[in-house]
Amino acid sequence: MPYSQSVSRWCFGDYSLEELAERAANIGLKGVDLLHPQEVTAIRPFGLSCPVTAAPEHESGIGCIERAFNHREHHDTLYEIYQELIPAAAESDIPHVITFSGNREGISNEEGLNNCALGLEKILPLAEEHNIVLIMELLNSKVDHPDYQCDHTSWGVDLCRKIDHPRFKLLYDIYHMQVMEGDVISTIRENIDYIAHFHTAGVPGRNELGSNQELNYPAIAQAIASTAYTGFVGHEFIPTAADPFASLIEAAQAWTQPS
């Protein structure tokens, strides 16, 4: 397949990073998502990379999912956070750094979009200097993240178009967007140029990708394979099986054997 597969660290938090890396490599995955830059050296002996990282928790709470770029009063702190994170990511060969819109807290979609653009444009020169792509994560506001603003693909794409910079794209979380809007395959095909990373999980529940959930992941895999996408698909489901690595094998197979 033209894309590579990875797994999110937090979903397998009961295991050491080294054990997760070894098992992931044996399955055929190529990366571990959401490591801190200083953790990347632990997975390199297994031939793995870290495709994407996010800002660590800041003492102010700014930079998290709920408090981010859609409020101008956060911009100075966000600049400080990413001024440190972007060079660290580059030094560890992490190509993508996650950003969030933040919760609405009463502001309109238009105001939130304009505020996000203003804040992101301040750090894009640093991203360009270090060959980093900033990606804003699409999350659902229906179940997991109430009031989150970047909760529809169209809003995220509008932000990409407004910023109009090759160093800013989207993290399309298939689970979250199925919860919010469905029509996953058509949406991906129409907006693939704005997507730099994918995450997966079953719907409902955010668990395994098996036959007891509603998404047809082999068909989604085939649709993505038919585009020019060559990045990573990161598995970010919460395993419920007695052997969580059996679930990870099943997920990887869904993406290597599209129907």
How is residue 146 written in tokens? 């109430």
pLDDT at 60 over 90: no
Read off the CATH number of the domain in which 190 is found. Answer: 3.20.20.150
Region 216-234: mean pLDDT is 96
pLDDT at 259 over 60: no
Which among 118, 102, 183, 114 has a CA at the least distance from the CA of 150? 102
Domain extent at residue 77: 4-256
Q: What percent of the chain has pLDDT over 90?
A: 96
Coil, strand or helix: which one is 85?
Answer: helix
Instruction: Kindly report, residue by residue over 109-161, the tens digit of the pLDDT.
Output: 999 999 999 999 999 999 999 999 999 999 999 999 999 999 999 999 999 99
Instruction: Kindly report, residue by residue over 198-224, the tens digit of the pLDDT.
Output: 999 999 999 999 999 999 999 999 999
pLDDT given for residue 17 in this prediction: 98
Find out whether 159 and 121 touch, Cβ atoms under 8 Å.
Answer: no
Coil, strand or helix: which one is 163?
Answer: helix
| 3-state DSSP helix/strand/coil % of the chain, to nearest 5 | 45, 15, 40
The single-letter DSSP state of residue 138 is: P
pLDDT given for residue 59 in this prediction: 83
Number of domains within the chain: 1
Three-state SS string across 24-50, please?
A: HHHHCCCEEECCCHHHHHHCHHHCCEC
Which among 217, 219, 220 has a CA at the least distance from the CA of 208? 217
Coil, strand or helix: which one is 232?
Answer: strand
Phi/psi for 172 (5° steps) reads: -90, 105
The single-letter DSSP state of residue 55 is: P
Q: Tell the residue number behind the tokens 């009031």, with chain if given.
A: 147
Distance CA(131)–CA(125), nearest Å, equals 10
Instruction: Kindly report, residue by residue over 47-58, the tens digit of the pLDDT.
Output: 999 999 999 878
Coil, strand or helix: which one is 8?
Answer: strand
pLDDT at 104 over 90: yes
Which among 50, 71, 52 has a CA at the least distance from the CA of 62? 71
Which among 150, 247, 142, 144 has a CA at the least distance from the CA of 194? 150
Q: What percent of the chain has pLDDT over 70?
A: 99
Region 224-231: mean pLDDT is 96
Distance CA(35)–CA(21), nearest Å, equals 12
User: Can you name the residues that pair with 199 across neighbouring β-strands?
Assistant: 173, 234
